[in-house]
Amino acid sequence: MLALSRSMLTLKRSHDTPPTPPHRLEFNSRRVAGSLLALASFAAYGLAALFAPAGIALPLGFAALIYGVGSSAAVFGHKDGVELGAAGAVGIGFSAWVLGGLAMIESEFWHPALLFVLMLTVSVLLHLRILVPAWRAGTAQATLRRALRAVDPGGRAGWSEIVGVICLVAFGYAMYKARHTRIGWNVPIGGYLGRIGTAWYLALALIIAALTFYAWRKQAGGVLFAGLQLVIAVFAVPILVYSVPRSPSAQKHIDIIQYLIQHREVTGIAGIYADWNGFFSGVAAALDGSGDSGDRVRLETYWPLLMALATFAVVVALVRILGYDRLTGYVVGTVATIANVLQQDYFSPQSMGYVMALCLFAVVVSKPRTVDAMAPPAVVPARRHPGFEIRWWQVWYALIFGVVIGVSHQFTPFAVAGAIGVLVLWGALRPFKRGVVLAVAVTAPIVVWALIHFDIIADFLNPDQLGNASNFSTPQTLSAPGIERLPIVAQSSLTLLATLLLVGVLAILGSARYVRNRVTLGLGSAAVFAFSLILITPYGNEGIFRASLFALPWLVVLGLPAYRALAHGRWFVSLGLAVVLGLLTAFYLVSSAGLDASNVARPADAAAYVRVSEIARKHPDTVYAVLQMGPGDLPTNLPVVPPNLNYLQPAEEIPPLPNVLTAQQYLHGKFRSAYRFLQHIGHLQKGYKFAEFILYSPASVAYAREYGQARLSQLENIRKALYTDPEQSVISVRDDTVLAQVRKGEWLRRRR
C-alpha cells in the first residue's frame, strides 16, 4: 500500500517547468506525497478505532503509527538530496517507539499515553510544515492531480485494466471462500493447502500471469498492483483460515507485552527476554499509549502480514536507492517478500530486527542525487562502481538503528554489524575513515549491551562449539524405532533449500560480470558473513536459519541486474519471470504451511496454561508442575510465570503403550519422575505442598505423526487414561485439549 501510493503520487517535471534542478522538484514532490499518505494513514486509523472491528483497527493503527511517525522525519531532509523513502520512514517509526518504550521501562517512568500524544502531535505538526507551504505553492494540488491521472477513472479500459479487474475479482472470491474454509483445531497435515479449494490456486496463477503481463507491457503501476496482490494472497489467507497465530512461540511474546502493560517493569520476566526487551517495550508502549483494550492476540495474528508489507515497501525503496527504476523495484520487492520462507516473520524481535536491518542497509548505500539529469545512475552491482560515499547524517541514522536492533535481539545485531564491517574492509564504504566510524556506530551499542548482559549470552558460548560442524545443522528431531516421518517434513525442508538456491542462482547470474569490482565482492562477503557466526555458536541450532535469512537481502542485491533483465525483457523473458514467481510462490506455500498441523497456535493450549498460572498465583505455598504429554512446541516455558510453577516436557520417547492400563502406569511413572526432579533441583523445600497437572494437546498428536515420534495409538491410550485413571481428574476439555489434575494418591506414597 505504501509503495502503491508513493508510485501514484510521484510528480514528474512537465515541459513548461521553470529551470529548477530536476532532482529538487522530484525530491520535494516525494516528501509531499509521503506527508499526504501519512496524514491519510492517521485519519484511517482514527476512523478504524471509532467504527471498525478490533481485528482491523489494531493492525491498521499500529502500521499507521509506525509509518506516520517515521515519515515525519523527512521534514528535516538532507542537503545532498538523498531521499530514503519507506526505508527511512519505517526505520525511524520503529526506532521512536522502541527507544521511547525502553526509556520508560528502564527509568520506571511508564506514561505511554503521554508518549503517544507527544509523538502524534509532533508528527502532525512536522507533516503540516511540509504540506502547508506545498499547498500554497500548488505542489500538493499537483501531486493529487498526478495521483488521479494515474488512476484515470474516466479513461477507456484496455487489456491491462481488464486483466487487473479479473485478477482482483478472482482473488477476492478466493479470499472470501477461504474465510469459510475454517479448518478448526483439527488442522490436517499440510495445513490449509489441501482444504482451501482450487479457486485460490487459480487466483494465484492469474495474479502471477497479470504481473508478468504488466511487466511485458512495462506498466510499473500494474506490476505494483499485482505484486501486492500476490503478497497479500499468501500472507493474509492463513489469517482468515486460522484466525490465530501460526507459531506457538508468539504466545510467549504476547504474554510479555501484557505483563509490561500491567506491571510496567521487567523484573518478573524470565531470562533473555528481560535483558533484550526493546521490541517488547516498544510494542507495549504503542498499544498502551493508544488506549487499546482489545484482544492483543490479534496483533500477533496479523503481524506476519504487516511485516510482509513492510518488507515489500523497504525493499522497493532500497532498489530505488541503488539506481533502478520503479518497475524493477516492484518485481524485486515481490520476490524478496515471497522468498522469505524461513518463517522468521512471526510476532517476535527477530522479525522487527530483519526489517530494521533492511532499513539500515538502505541508509548505508544511500548516495546523493546527481544534479546532471543526463548522467546515468550508478546502479549496483557495476563494473566500475566507486563505492558508497558516507555522510555524517548516515552515521547518525546507523547509530539509531543499531541501538534499536541491539536492544531487541541477540543474534541479529552481530549479523548486521558484521555485514557492515565487511563492506568497510572491502572499501565499498568510503572514505575509509568515515566508513570505520559508521561501522563503530553500529557495532558499539551492540557490544556494550551484550557485555552488560554477558551472563545471559554466555550460555550460547561454549569452547566446545567453536568450529563444530554440527553448528551448521538444524535442530534434530529423531523418529522413534519402527516409525517413519511423513513426506511433508522432507518436502518442507527441500522447498526451503530450493528457494535459497534459486535466489542464489539469480545472484550469480546478476553479478558474474561484475565480480572483479570491490563493491560486488563486499556484497558477496556480506551475504556469507552470518554463516561465520555459526562457527562460534549454533544459537540453539537455529543459527543456520538466521544466517540464511540475513544472506537473503544481499543475494537479492547481487541479483539486481538479473531481475532488471526479467522485468524489462521481451515476452519470452517475461515468461521466465513468471516461472521464477511461480516457483517461489509454490516453495513458500509448502515450506510455510506444510507443518501447520503442529505449528498453529491453539488458544485452548494457552488457556490451559493461563488457568494453571492463575491457580499457582493464588497458592504461593504450593509448588506446581505441568506435564506435557507428548512432543512438540506448545506455549510452554512462558517467560512470565509464577515462581512456584514449572513446565516439564517428556525428555525421552514414549514407550510402547498397547492398552490403557499401561498408559496409566506410564503416567504414574511421570508423576514420580517430576516430583523427584523438582526435589533434586531444590524447588521442593520443606513445608511446601506439591501439585501436578497434565496437558494433552492435539498439537502433540500432529507433531508425533509428522516426525514419527510416537504411534497415534500410544497417544490415544494416554488420552483415554486421563479419563479413566483414578489417580487424576479431568478439569477442562476445550477443542480436544485436555487439562487434568493429579490426585495425591498411591503414586505419591510410593515415592518414599
* Residue 727 φ/ψ, nearest 5 degrees: -85, 0
Long-range contacts of 155-164 (CB under 8 A, 24+ apart): 159/213, 160/213, 160/214, 160/217, 160/219, 160/222, 163/209, 163/210, 163/213, 163/214, 164/210, 164/214, 164/222, 164/225, 164/226
Residues paired with residue 388 on neighbouring β-strands, in sequence order: 429
- One-letter amino acid for residue 416 of the chain: V
Sign of CA dihedral 494, 497, 502, 508: negative
- Are the C-beta atoms of 134 and 140 separated by less than 8 Å? yes
Give the rounded percent of residues in the chain with a pLDDT score beyond 90: 18
Kindly write down the DSSP assignment for every residue of 228-266, as one continuous string: HHHHHHHHHHHHHHH-S-S-THHHHHHHHHHHHHHH-SS
pLDDT higher than threshold 70 for residue 134: yes
Sign of CA dihedral 485, 491, 494, 495: negative
pLDDT higher than threshold 70 for residue 28: no
Gap between the Cα atoms of 685 and 687, Å rounded: 6
Single out the residue of 2, 480, 544, 511 nearest to residue 231, CA to CA: 2
Single out the residue of 203, 198, 206, 242 nearest to residue 593, CA to CA: 242
Single out the residue of 596, 719, 649 nearest to residue 185, CA to CA: 596
Single out the residue of 540, 578, 374 nearest to residue 457, CA to CA: 540
Mean pLDDT score, 728-747: 81
- The single-letter DSSP state of residue 347 is S
SS3 labels along 500-531:
HHHHHHHHHHHHHHHCCCHHHHHHHHHHHHHH
In residues, how long is the chain?
Answer: 752
Cell 490436517: give the residue: 188
Least confident of 275-284, 451-460, 487-496, 512-521: 451-460
Indicate the pLDDT class of residue 7, thresholds 50, 70 and 90. very low
Indicate the pLDDT class of residue 314, thresholds 50, 70 and 90. very high
Indicate the pLDDT class of residue 27, thresholds 50, 70 and 90. very low
More confident residue, 441 or 374: 441
Residues whose CB falls within 8 Å of the CB of residue 392, separated by 6 or more in sequence, listed in order: 434
Cell 530505488: give the residue: 320
Long-range contacts of 295-298 (CB under 8 A, 24+ apart): 295/54, 296/58, 296/254, 296/257, 296/258, 297/244, 297/245, 297/251, 297/254, 297/603, 298/54, 298/55, 298/58, 298/59
Angle, CA 112 vertex, CA 106 and CA 117 arms, to 5°: 135
Cell 563503530: give the residue: 440
Gap between the Cα atoms of 44 and 175, Å rounded: 23
pLDDT higher than threshold 50 for residue 24: no
pLDDT tens digits, one per residue of 279-296: 999 999 888 887 765 567
The 10 Å CB-count burial string (b at 16+, else e) for 99-130 is: bbbbebbeeeebebeebbeebbeebbebbeeb
Single out the residue of 63, 56, 59 nearest to residue 40, CA to CA: 63
Task: Please give the pLDDT value at position 92.
Answer: 92
Q: Is 9 helix (H, G, I), strand (E, B) or coil?
A: coil
pLDDT higher than threshold 80 for residue 419: yes
Task: Please give the pLDDT value at position 185.
Answer: 66
Mean pLDDT score, 612-629: 88
Check: pTM over 0.75? Answer yes or no.
yes
The 10 Å CB-count burial string (b at 16+, else e) for 530-569 is: bbebbebbbbeebbbbbbbbbbbbbbbbbbbbbbbbbbbe
- Are the C-beta atoms of 380 and 328 separated by less than 8 Å? no
Q: Is 328 helix (H, G, I), strand (E, B) or coil?
A: helix
Residues paired with residue 693 on neighbouring β-strands, in sequence order: 626, 741
Indicate the pLDDT class of residue 154, thresholds 50, 70 and 90. very low
- Asked if the bond preceding 481 is cis, omega within 30° of 0, the reply is no
Task: Please give the pLDDT value at position 744.
Answer: 65
- Are the C-beta atoms of 222 and 151 separated by less than 8 Å? no
Mean pLDDT score, 542-549: 67
More confident residue, 598 or 475: 598
pLDDT higher than threshold 60 for residue 4: no
Task: Please give the pLDDT value at position 18.
Answer: 41
pLDDT higher than threshold 90 for residue 582: yes
Task: Please give the pLDDT value at position 438.
Answer: 93
Q: Is 690 helix (H, G, I), strand (E, B) or coil?
A: strand
Residue 263, CA distances (Å) to 268, 346, 407, 464 in order: 9, 25, 20, 40
Count H helices, E strands: the chain? 30, 7
Cα(first)–Cα(last) distance of the chain, in Å?
66
Task: Please give the pLDDT value at position 409.
Answer: 83
- One-letter amino acid for residue 97 of the chain: W
User: Can you say how many angstroms the Cα of residue 545 is from the centroid of all Cα atoms in its chain?
Assistant: 13
- The single-letter DSSP state of residue 187 is P
Q: Is 430 helix (H, G, I), strand (E, B) or coil?
A: strand
- One-letter amino acid for residue 101 of the chain: G
- Are the C-beta atoms of 662 and 716 separated by less than 8 Å? no
Residues whose CB falls within 8 Å of the CB of residue 699, separated by 6 or more in sequence, listed in order: 248, 597, 598, 600, 602, 605, 632, 633, 634
pLDDT higher than threshold 70 for residue 658: yes
Q: Is 88 helix (H, G, I), strand (E, B) or coil?
A: helix
Q: Give helix 297-321 / helix 86-107 axis angle, nearest 10°.
A: 140
Task: Please give the pLDDT value at position 98.
Answer: 93
Mean pLDDT score, 691-707: 88
- Are the C-beta atoms of 557 and 380 separated by less than 8 Å? yes
pLDDT tens digits, one per residue of 394-417: 899 999 999 999 998 887 888 888
- Are the C-beta atoms of 442 and 360 separated by less than 8 Å? yes
pLDDT tens digits, one per residue of 486-497: 888 888 888 888
Residues whose CB falls within 8 Å of the CB of residue 477, separated by 6 or more in sequence, listed in order: 707, 709
